[in-house]
Chain A
Amino acid sequence: DAGVIQSPRHEVTEMGQEVTLRCKPISGHDYLFWYRQTMMRGLELLIYFNNNVPIDDSGMPEDRFSAKMPNASFSTLKIQPSEPRDSAVYFCASRRTGSTLEAFFGQGTRLTVV
């Protein structure tokens, strides 16, 4: 398996534009997580899905952020409109229901909003 795949790896956009980040989890994994990492706040969990259903979105900073998982192999995190303070590295992770909480992370998307 190629692991968790995120795209794009880097995104530079202007303030006010819509940004869509994409994630393909590992096949067979039924949990998917979106994290954001900044120097100031570290790694923060934004939202997670189980069997494509959003379970906890309490970490989503505001209504400008939305996430979807239309099927087991694809998820998106959308920011509309984007702001400079959204600049961060966004990670997607997935794991399988089981006896451990071993999650597999993608390489991340580095978002810069200018």
Chain B
Amino acid sequence: DAKTTQPTSMDCAEGRAANLPCNHSTISGNEYVYWYRQIHSQGPQYIIHGLKNNETNEMASLIITEDRKSSTLILPHATLRDTAVYYCIVISNAGNMLTFGGGTRLMVKP
């Protein structure tokens, strides 16, 4: 599975959009981009995933560049409850094991 690179930490003002980048320059054609987050003292939670098209759900939007070498998770109106560690994972749907890297620690501030 392709390796991902994320910033260690980011801050965001409450009510503003949080844009979390992820680089995955070695991604291959059959690999998806998955995003999970882990709020303090809880287990990781699935957010969204995509292959090459942009995706949106009730939690977030995922923007994948045309060359698929990077992506951005967007929380359109961040709240204090969005403070968490956000993990970007690249994996083929034929794979079974989610491998978590260091993630980005997002701090939403009032």
Contact = CB atoms under 8 A, between A and B. Distances in A.
A101 interface: yes
A56 B97 contact: yes
A55 B96 CA distance: 10
Nearest to B49: A100
Interface in A91-114: 91, 93, 99-108
B43 A45 contact: no
B45 A99 contact: no
A42 B102 contact: yes
Chain A, interface size: which category? 20 to 34
Contacts of A103: 44, 46, 98
Nearest to B89: A101
B97 A48 contact: yes
A31 B96 contact: yes
Contacts of A52: none
Contacts of B32: 101
A48 B97 CA distance: 8
Interface in B27-74: 32, 34, 38, 41-46, 49
A106 B93 contact: no
Interface of A: 4, 31, 33, 35, 42-43, 45, 48, 50, 55-56, 91, 93, 99-108
Given A35-B100, A101-B95, A108-B41, 13 more contacts: A43-B38, A45-B97, A45-B99, A48-B96, A56-B97, A93-B43, A101-B32, A101-B34, A101-B96, A101-B98, A103-B44, A103-B46, A107-B43
